[in-house]
Amino acid sequence: MAQPKNRIDETILLPFGTGKPVGIAVLGKGDITTKAREAGVDLIIGPEEIERLGGEPREARQIAGKYRFFLADTGVMPQVGRFLGPRLGPRGRMPTPIPGGTEIKPIVDRLRNSVKVRSKDKKTLHVKVGGTGMPVEQIAENIDAVLKKIEGALEQGPMNIRSVFVKTTMGPAVRLV
């Protein structure tokens, strides 16, 4: 995994979500914030707040840990990179730029049912595909969606996958493949 081209960094849309709410934050001003409010985004951060968070590393880390996905207006991306980049970048939470005039509701709805998969420098991937309260069929469809996306990202597809395990947080692992 020393070569960056072999690493996996994907956002995968799950057919049934993970069963838990996903925090989404929007960084920007003006029209994008009103659209974000209508879409039901969890946190809206304005340009002044971005600068303030640059001087408050602890609070910036807490926000980076609490929210899974970040969306940003293209006008504030330079500020985001300068002030929040050191906190969001290493966690894989750098905001997705949203051009002005783009409808934000479908993006937010898609992200609510998505998970992020990053291999970094390891060959093992850990992905949350559901909870114990979900029906087994829904979890199976989520696993299938994750496997298809990962196979598509790998050079040799399914030949690169040695094994697949499913487990609950404190339970034993069950081998699928």
Q: Please provide the CATH number assigned to the domain covering 24-110.
A: 3.40.50.790
Q: Rounded mean pLDDT of the chain?
A: 90
- The CA–CA distances, whole Å, from 124 to 1, 42, 97, 148 equal 11, 31, 29, 16
Task: Name every residue whose Cβ is closer than 8 Å to that of residue 71 and which is 6 or more positions away in sequence.
Answer: 24, 25, 26, 27, 28, 36, 41, 95, 96, 98, 104, 107, 108, 111
More reliable by pLDDT, 58 or 122: 58
pLDDT tens-digit readout, 48-80: 999 999 899 999 999 999 999 999 999 999 999
Domain residue ranges of the chain, discontinuous segments joined by +: 4-18+114-175, 24-110
102, amino acid identity: T
Res 1: pLDDT: 57
Q: Please provide the CATH number assigned to the domain covering 4-18+114-175.
A: 3.30.190.20
pLDDT tens-digit readout, 105-118: 999 999 999 999 98
The answer to whether residue 92 scores a pLDDT higher than 70 is yes
